[in-house]
Amino acid sequence: MIIILLGPPGAGKGTQAQRIETKQGLVQLSTGDMLRAAVAAGTEVGKKAKAFMEAGKLVTDEIVIGIIADRIDEDDCKNGFLLDGFPRTVAQAEALDNMLARKDLKLDVVIEMKVDDAALVDRITGRYTCANCNQGYHDVNLKPKVDGVCDNCGSTNFKRRADDNRETVSSRLEAYHAQTAPLLPYYKAKGILKVVDGMADIDDVTAQINEVLGSLS
């Protein structure tokens, strides 16, 4: 199965992707995570991407298309994958269509997570993750069961993203509306777009997504 999670920054894509990955055994491919790893490692890609990410702008299509093309060639993607944060422009969506066609694969579903802009600022400024296993948390909405200890791996180290601040959020939202939202009619026209209410509780959103996935098989 090949699934795309589409939605604005802070919509809950990463949170739900982690859950789908566990339940469906699909690899989660997050271009944001891949780019942050490249920046941290100081690779050529990381050097090119850093300034765009810090400014809340999209990295060039060429860079992210290259990353995804290489990644889906790997063995663990043979049985399908879940894309979180890619594609984000029509050019990226067209490049993905071409990559899949060449491999004789097809996109099963695009799930739009609909969330009001007003809710996104709180979600993004309250977001943090486990520094060891990348499990996502939120200051108010999703705390670890034991204060300061990761539920998943027991680590006591957590991190926040450099771009998760109020100033950058507005450019990221602008980029979403201008460059990514046009993907909604693009996938709707292909008849594979499903919409879930991302304003609901985290567990409720998971249930809505499971229902969508269940209706496909």
Q: How far apart are CA 180 and CA 113, in angstroms?
A: 13
Chosen from Zn ion, ligand ADP, none, partner binding at 135 (C-beta under 5 to 8 Å by type):
Zn ion
Q: Which of residues 123-142 bind ligand ADP (CB under 6 A)?
A: 123, 126-127, 136-138, 141-142
Give CB contacts under 8 A, 24+ apart, made by 209-213: 209/16, 209/19, 209/20, 209/111, 210/23, 212/109, 212/111, 213/1, 213/3, 213/20, 213/24, 213/109
Binding partner at 116 among ligand ADP, Zn ion, none, C-beta below 5 to 8 Å by kind: none
| Angstrom distance (rounded) from CA 60 to CA 88 | 10
List b or e across 168-178, with b for residues whose CB sees 16 or more CB atoms inside 10 angstroms: bbeebbebbee
Contact window for ligand ADP (CB under 6 A) among 38-46, 57-65, 144-152, 185-193: 57-65
Residues 66-95 that bind ligand ADP (CB under 6 A): 85-86, 88, 92
Site string for Zn ion, 116-155 (x = CB under 5 A): --------------x-xx-x--------------x-xx-x
Q: Look up residue 3 and give its DSSP letter.
A: E
CA distance 99 to 188: 20
Mark whether 172 is an active-site residue: yes
What is the distance between the terminal CA atoms of the chain, rounded to a whole angstrom?
A: 10
User: Residue 179 interacts with Zn ion (CB under 5 A)?
Assistant: no
Q: Which stretch binds ligand ADP (CB under 6 A): 49-57, 73-81, 101-109, 149-157?
A: 49-57
Q: Report yes or no: 15 and 202 within 8 Å, Cβ to Cβ.
A: yes
The strands making up 158-159's β-sheet, listed across from edge to edge, are 136-138, 127-130, 158-159
- Does 24 engage in binding with ligand ADP (CB under 6 A)? no
Could you say which of 4, 9, 39, 46 contacts ligand ADP (CB under 6 A)? Answer: 9
Contacts with ligand ADP by CB under 6 A lie at 7, 9-15, 31-32, 35, 52-53, 56-59, 64, 85-86, 88, 92, 123, 126-127, 136-138, 141-142, 172, 198, 201-202, 205
| Residues annotated as part of the active site | 13, 88, 127, 160, 172
